[in-house]
Amino acid sequence: MRIVVIQASSRSKGDTFAIIEACKTHLSFDVIDLKQYNIGHYDYHHNLEDDFLGVMKKLITYDVILFATPVYWYSMSGRLKVFFDRITDCLKVDRETGRKLRGKKMGAISCSNSNDLNEGFFIPFKLSAAYLGMEYLGNIHCWIEDEISVEVQELIRNFMETIKEDLNK
């Protein structure tokens, strides 16, 4: 199965990237860095002149999609929220692409500087997966103070093992 991580940080080589790299020591996957693309906000006129549909066409070639985001103001990054909003274009304009999300697997990785994630953080991921007909694999919250702690490394290992087990079913 092909796996991709969608990195949605304002810094391509920041803490979220460090967590993604730590995940790569346990599982092989590709990374799409949303910062490298021009993706505009959703509008009701379906402005499709940016990179969004191109990214989506890449995304649907994978079986497992993991979203990796820093925690900004108690929520996913604005970059990722814009991306999620734009999925509407695949339900209204390019339905063929949107339908190809059905049956795929989704998970989420968050990153901040402390272990204090709010309780509802992952609800948009779970509900979006359900709405799109995707299987939700779960989520993990990681934090980096000065470096990735042994505790976080263990959380990463366990989460990646859970994904591997799911893929081997």
DSSP assignment string, 72-112: BTTBS-HHHHHHHHHTTHHHHT-HHHHHTTTT-EEEEEEEE
Q: Which residues contact 116 (CB under 8 A, 6 or more apart)?
A: none
pLDDT of amino acid 167: 87
pLDDT mean over 45-57: 90
Q: To which residue do tokens 């379906």 refer?
A: 46
- Tens-place pLDDT, residues 54-109: 999 999 999 999 999 999 999 999 999 999 999 999 988 889 999 999 999 999 99
Ordered by start, the domain boundaries in the chain are 3-167
Task: From the options 3.20.20.140, 3.30.70.120, 3.40.50.360, 3.40.50.300, give the CATH code of 3-167.
Answer: 3.40.50.360
82 closest CA partner among 124, 115, 122, 118: 124
What's the pLDDT at 168?
A: 85
Does the structure show a pLDDT above 90 at 47? no
Q: Which residue has the higher pLDDT, 32 or 146?
A: 32
Residue 108: per-residue pLDDT: 98
| pTM, two decimal places | 0.96
